C-alpha cells in the first residue's frame, strides 16, 4: 500500500515536471514567434487601411469577414462566416461639406452612419440655428423658419481645448470661470431643446418634416480635433457631423447674421436588407475537442474613422494569437476557437446570437478571453463572479513571462453585465474574462471618434497582448481540470434592498435598423 502510494506520487511528480519543461519551452516558442515574426503591422494594414471601417450592414464589414476567413485559411486554420441575422445595409460613399458664403472653404465633417444621401449634385442652402422658442406651442409657430435650410442642432462649444490643457495653462480662476460659463451654456441649450417639446433624438425627424434640407450636429469628444460619430435619425435628408472648429464657425456666422450657406454632397447608398455574420475559426482539440478555449473580439466598428482601437486592436491581438498558436501548438488538447463578432456596437448582437445558437459550445467552454478597450497593455482582469477563477486563472497567469504580465487581478469580482462580448458568455454561465487594457486616452481620443486611426496603435503593447493571449489560451487548453463555473453569492443591492441576481442571457437583435 505504502509502496503503491509512493509510486503514484513519483509518477505524478514526474509528469508534472515533464509538463513544466514542455510548458516552459512552449511559452518560449510563443514569445519567439510573436517577437521575431510578428504579423501585426501587415494585418493592421490590410484590415484598417485597405478594408477600412467596419460598420454593421456595410460592404466593408462583409469584405473584412471574407478577408479574415482567407487569412485564417492561408494559415491552415479552418474558418467560416456564420450568418446570424440581417441589418439595414448602407454604403457611406463620399461626403463633401463646403462653406460657400460669405467665403469659400471646405469644412471637416461627415455623414452620420446610415444617413440618407443628397442628389449627386448635392444641396446648397443657408445654415440656421435651431429656433429658440419659449415653449412647444411657440416652437410650432417658428418651425417654418427651417424650411429649405440646414439646421444646427448641437450646442456650440465655448472652447476646443480639452480640460487638461486649461488646467495646465489657465489661471485657476479662469479655468473655473470657463467651466461655469460652459455649464450655463449647457443648461441653456438643454432648455432650448426642451422648449421644442421633443428630445434631441426626435428633433431631426421633426425638422425634416418641417422642410429642413439637412441636419448638422457636432458631438465633441473633449479632446483636440475629436468628434464622436454615431447614427443619423432622419429618413430622407442628410444628417452630418461637423468638427467642433468648423461647427463653431458656422454657428458664429449664423448668430452674427452673416447668413452662411454651405453645399453638402452626400453620396451614401441605402442597400436594403443585408446578412450579418460572425467569423469563427478554430484549431480542433486533439484530446477534448468538445471543450473550448475561446478568443473573443468584436469585428465591427463605428465608421467615423478606421476603428483602429475599437476594435481593430482586439481583433489583431486575437488573430495574431491564433497564428502563433497554430505555429507552435498545432495540436491543442482542447479546441481553440476564435470569435470575431459583428454588431457589438449596437448591443453585443453577434456574440449573443452565437451563445444562443451554440449551446453545446457554451457548455464546453473552458475559458473565454475577450479584448476590447484599445491599444494598451492588458493591465486588469476580473474573475467576473466565478468563485474559483482565482485558482485556474491565477495558475495560467503564472506561466506568462513577467515582462508581459503586469496585471492586477480582481477575484472573485462581479459578473460583467455588458460593455463587451465576454458578457454574452458570462450571462450563460461560461467562465469568460475581459483582458482590460491601459487607456492611452481611449475614451476621449479614439473610442467611436473620427480619429480612431492606424497611427494610434502602440505596436509593442499589441505584441505584449498577443503573447499574453496565446499563453493563456495554451495554459487553459492544457489544464488537467475543466474549469469550475461556481458562481459567487451576489450581494444585496444597497439601493433596492433586493438580492442581486446573475445576468440573464439575451438573444441578439437579428433584424437591425429595418422596419419589421
Ligand atoms: Zn469595442
Distance CA 114, CA 238 (A): 9
| CA 229 – ligand 1 centroid, Å | 14
| CA 453 – ligand 1 centroid, Å | 14
| CA 148 – ligand 1 centroid, Å | 38
pLDDT for residue 405:
81
Contact present, 209 and 233 (Cβ < 8 Å)? no
| CA 232 – ligand 1 centroid, Å | 20
pLDDT for residue 6:
44
pLDDT for residue 31:
98
| pTM of the predicted protein model | 0.94
| CA 450 – ligand 1 centroid, Å | 15
Collapsing DSSP to helix, strand or coil, 391 comes out as helix
| CA 420 – ligand 1 centroid, Å | 7
| CA 168 – ligand 1 centroid, Å | 31
| CA 151 – ligand 1 centroid, Å | 31
| CA 82 – ligand 1 centroid, Å | 20
| CA 343 – ligand 1 centroid, Å | 10
| CA 122 – ligand 1 centroid, Å | 33
Full pLDDT tens readout for the chain, 516 residues: 344 444 444 455 556 677 788 999 999 999 999 999 999 999 999 999 999 999 999 999 999 999 999 999 999 999 999 999 999 999 999 999 999 999 999 999 999 999 999 999 999 999 999 999 999 999 999 999 999 999 999 999 999 999 999 999 999 999 999 999 999 999 999 999 999 999 999 999 999 999 999 999 999 999 999 999 999 999 999 999 999 999 999 999 999 999 999 999 999 999 999 999 999 999 999 999 999 999 999 999 999 999 999 999 999 999 999 999 999 999 999 999 999 999 999 999 999 999 999 999 999 999 999 999 999 999 999 999 999 999 999 999 999 999 998 899 999 999 999 999 999 999 999 999 999 999 999 999 999 999 999 999 999 999 999 999 999 999 999 999 999 999 999 999 999 999 999 999 999 999 999 986
| Cβ neighbours for 431, distance < 8 A, ≥ 6 positions apart | 365, 366, 367, 368, 384, 386, 389, 425, 483, 484, 485
Collapsing DSSP to helix, strand or coil, 149 comes out as coil
| CA 372 – ligand 1 centroid, Å | 5
Distance CA 365, CA 479 (A): 13
**How many other C-beta atoms can be found within 10 angstroms of the C-beta atom of residue 116?**
18
SS3 content of the chain, % helix, strand, coil (to 5): 40, 20, 40
Give the tens place of pLDDT for each residue, 293-345: 999 999 999 999 999 999 999 999 999 999 999 999 999 999 999 999 999 99
Pairing relationship of beta strands 78-91 and 511-512 according to DSSP bridges: parallel
| CA 223 – ligand 1 centroid, Å | 19
| CA 348 – ligand 1 centroid, Å | 10
Distance CA 353, CA 451 (A): 30
| CA 351 – ligand 1 centroid, Å | 13
- Looking up cell 441653456 gives 188
Contact present, 89 and 57 (Cβ < 8 Å)? yes
**How many other C-beta atoms can be found within 10 angstroms of the C-beta atom of residue 146?**
21
Distance CA 221, CA 80 (A): 37
- Looking up cell 519567439 gives 32
| CA 71 – ligand 1 centroid, Å | 22
| CA 378 – ligand 1 centroid, Å | 15
Pairing relationship of beta strands 95-101 and 105-106 according to DSSP bridges: antiparallel
Distance CA 376, CA 287 (A): 35
CA distances from 191 to 181, 185, 250, 489 (A): 15, 10, 21, 45
Q: What is the CA radius of gyration of the chain?
A: 26
Buried b (16+ CB within 10 A) or exposed e, 438-461: bbbbbebbbbbbbbbbbebbbeeb
Give the tens place of pLDDT for each residue, 194-239: 999 999 999 999 999 999 999 999 999 999 999 999 999 999 999 9
| CA 447 – ligand 1 centroid, Å | 8
Omega prior to 129 cis, within 30 of 0: no
| Cβ neighbours for 500, distance < 8 A, ≥ 6 positions apart | 490, 491, 492, 493
**How many other C-beta atoms can be found within 10 angstroms of the C-beta atom of residue 121?**
8
Measured CA angle at 452 (ends 120, 426), to 5 deg:
115
- Phi, psi dihedrals of residue 265, rounded to the nearest 5°: -115, 115
| CA 125 – ligand 1 centroid, Å | 37
| Cβ neighbours for 14, distance < 8 A, ≥ 6 positions apart | none
| CA 298 – ligand 1 centroid, Å | 7
| CA 373 – ligand 1 centroid, Å | 6
Distance CA 431, CA 86 (A): 29
| CA 86 – ligand 1 centroid, Å | 20
| CA 212 – ligand 1 centroid, Å | 34
| CA 344 – ligand 1 centroid, Å | 7
Amino acid at each position: 500500500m505504502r509502496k503503491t502510494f509512493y509510486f503514484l506520487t513519483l509518477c505524478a511528480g514526474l509528469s508534472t515536471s515533464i509538463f513544466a519543461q514542455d510548458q516552459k519551452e512552449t511559452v518560449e516558442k510563443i514569445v519567439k514567434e510573436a517577437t521575431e515574426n510578428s504579423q501585426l503591422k501587415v494585418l493592421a494594414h490590410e484590415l484598417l487601411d485597405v478594408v477600412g471601417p467596419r460598420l454593421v450592414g456595410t460592404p466593408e464589414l462583409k469584405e473584412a469577414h471574407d478577408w479574415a476567413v482567407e487569412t485564417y485559411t492561408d494559415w491552415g486554420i479552418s474558418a467560416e462566416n456564420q450568418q446570424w441575422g440581417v441589418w439595414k445595409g448602407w454604403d457611406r460613399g463620399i461626403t463633401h461639406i463646403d462653406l460657400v458664403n460669405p467665403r469659400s472653404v471646405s469644412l471637416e465633417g461627415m455623414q452620420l452612419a446610415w444617413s440618407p444621401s443628397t442628389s449627386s449634385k448635392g444641396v446648397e442652402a443657408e445654415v440656421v440655428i435651431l429656433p429658440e422658442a419659449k415653449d412647444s406651442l411657440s416652437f410650432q409657430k417658428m418651425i417654418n423658419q427651417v424650411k429649405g435650410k440646414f439646421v444646427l442642432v448641437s450646442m456650440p462649444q465655448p472652447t476646443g481645448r480639452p480640460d487638461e490643457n486649461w488646467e495646465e495653462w489657465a489661471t485657476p480662476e479662469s479655468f473655473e470661470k470657463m467651466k461655469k460659463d460652459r455649464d450655463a451654456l449647457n443648461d441653456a441649450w438643454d432648455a432650448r431643446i426642451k422648449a421644442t417639446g421633443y428630445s434631441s433624438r426626435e428633433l431631426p425627424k421633426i425638422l425634416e418634416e418641417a422642410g429642413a434640407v439637412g441636419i448638422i450636429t457636432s458631438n465633441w469628444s473633449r479632446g483636440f480635433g475629436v468628434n464622436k460619430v454615431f447614427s443619423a435619425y432622419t429618413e430622407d435628408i442628410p444628417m452630418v457631423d461637423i468638427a467642433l472648429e468648423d461647427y463653431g464657425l458656422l454657428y458664429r456666422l449664423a448668430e452674427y447674421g452673416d447668413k452662411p450657406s454651405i453645399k453638402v454632397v452626400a453620396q451614401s447608398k441605402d442597400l436594403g436588407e443585408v446578412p450579418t455574420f460572425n467569423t469563427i475559426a478554430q484549431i480542433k482539440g486533439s484530446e477534448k475537442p468538445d471543450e473550448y478555449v475561446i478568443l473573443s473580439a468584436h469585428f465591427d466598428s463605428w465608421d467615423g474613422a478606421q476603428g483602429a482601437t475599437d476594435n481593430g486592436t482586439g481583433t489583431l491581438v486575437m488573430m495574431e494569437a491564433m497564428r502563433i498558436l497554430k505555429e507552435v501548438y498545432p495540436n491543442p488538447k482542447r479546441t481553440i476557437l476564435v470569435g470575431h463578432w459583428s454588431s457589438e456596437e449596437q448591443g453585443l448582437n453577434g456574440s449573443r446570437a452565437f451563445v444562443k445558437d451554440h449551446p453545446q459550445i457554451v457548455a464546453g467552454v473552458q475559458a473565454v478571453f475577450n479584448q476590447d478597450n484599445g491599444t494598451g497593455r492588458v493591465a486588469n482582469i476580473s474573475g467576473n463572479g466565478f468563485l474559483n477563477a482565482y485558482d485556474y486563472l491565477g495558475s495560467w497567469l503564472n506561466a506568462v513571462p513577467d515582462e508581459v504580465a503586469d496585471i492586477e487581478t480582481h477575484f472573485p469580482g462581479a459578473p460583467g453585465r455588458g460593455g463587451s462580448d465576454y458578457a454574452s458568455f458570462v450571462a450563460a454561465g461560461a467562465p469568460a474574462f475581459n483582458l482590460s487594457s491601459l487607456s492611452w486616452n481611449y475614451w476621449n481620443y479614439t473610442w467611436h471618434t473620427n480619429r480612431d486611426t492606424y497611427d494610434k496603435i502602440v505596436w509593442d503593447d499589441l505584441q505584449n497582448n498577443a503573447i499574453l493571449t496565446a499563453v493563456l489560451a495554451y495554459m487553459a487548453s492544457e489544464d488537467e481540470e475543466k474549469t469550475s463555473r461556481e458562481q459567487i453569492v451576489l450581494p444585496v443591492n444597497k439601493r433596492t434592498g433586493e438580492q442581486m441576481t446573475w445576468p440573464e442571457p439575451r438573444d441578439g437583435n437579428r433584424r437591425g435598423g429595418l422596419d419589421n
